[in-house]
Structure 1
Amino acid sequence: MAERRMLWEQAAAELFNNTRDRNGPPGAHVRTTSSMINQLEKARISELKKWWEMTSLTKYVENGRVPQGICILILPTLGYMNPDLLEEWRTQTDECSIKLMGTLITQAKRRMDEQIIKIEQLTKELEKIVNQQDVSNQLAKMEERIKNKEEEIKSHKAHKFNRDKLDYEHGRIYTFARKYDILRTKDVSKSFVEIAVH
């Protein structure tokens, strides 16, 4: 009985697979192809974002700078904070932030590698039907969208890098969204506030 059932299941699998291929609804193959191309585009853009994220963070580390979005001024609630101690505190904070950026770079690379595997799988599947169902035109349009997205990412990264470069050159590292928090700290001298927010 078990042997016959196995044969029946095999015959049923072949029958329904063949029936689906011959009699599937019109456009079924097109929808599947479009879905694959959409997945490929998302994976390519994700890879692109992670590459630029990894590359820009590496450039920050090489220049000893911390991006504005990662600059976190953590102050101790001690009454004897003075300008010299604050300056040393900020230096140590920068060094810790730069080390933590290494973790972000590693994570970005891991995510990028995951997308590369997915891209390779989807590309192999699409290569089998590249000349069918106008796939070539769809892929060409996808490449154009990815190119435009890359230009957008590059422009955004360049703007942020130049902004942060100027912040460091003018000593405006911890000025954004920090003044109110610093002014709330108890027993803070005028000189302490000036150094912290300028």
Structure 2
Amino acid sequence: MLNPTAARPARPTGQWLTTDGTRWWFDSGALALDLAYTGRFDQPERLGSTAELAAWLEERFEEVDGTVSDGDLRDALALRDAIAGAALSASRGEQPSPADVDIVNLYAAIPDIPPSLPGGTRQAGRTRARAAQALSAIAREAVALFAIDERERIRECDADDCSFVFYDESRSNNRRWCSMARCGNRAKVRAHRSKKGKKEAVA
């Protein structure tokens, strides 16, 4: 996963989605893009309440205290929209809109969850993080994600009938599919059938 601050542990990425009645695992490669797939990109709304946002954040940030206000929910949806818009632009080789950039920068400017070293005997600051701090951490990741040298790694799935956007975190920078178990395997089956058909035609 993209980890813009080396001192921080990488957060887990990926989540279960349901497409055309089929449940499948989609790892977008970045926490910021995971947020975008909670209700954007033609996905059903998964953050329709403060409780749903709290649950989503707690799965990814063990530091958060589970308290989410209506304001936090509005902030999360605004940040999600901006990230989705910027990701779509990046996948098409375009610059993110100034409005999306402004929103991402706004939330990235909020203090995020500070790193901490375990094993001490004294407590420094809050022991639990607020939802706003988690959103800031996501926004800061988005800042790194949409940087010029990373933007080319944001791309759409190669399948003709799929438009899922992901961040290619592979060393070789050659990820083609939203999921090998989904579009990757379908492409292999199609290629095999096409090759078999050509052989039979020649015979």
Which one has the bigger helix percentage? 1
Q: TM-score normalized by structure 2? A: 0.28
Which one has the largest radius of gyration? 1
Per chain length, whose mean CA-contact separation is higher, i.e. which structure has more relative contact order (CA < 8 Å, sep 6+)?
1
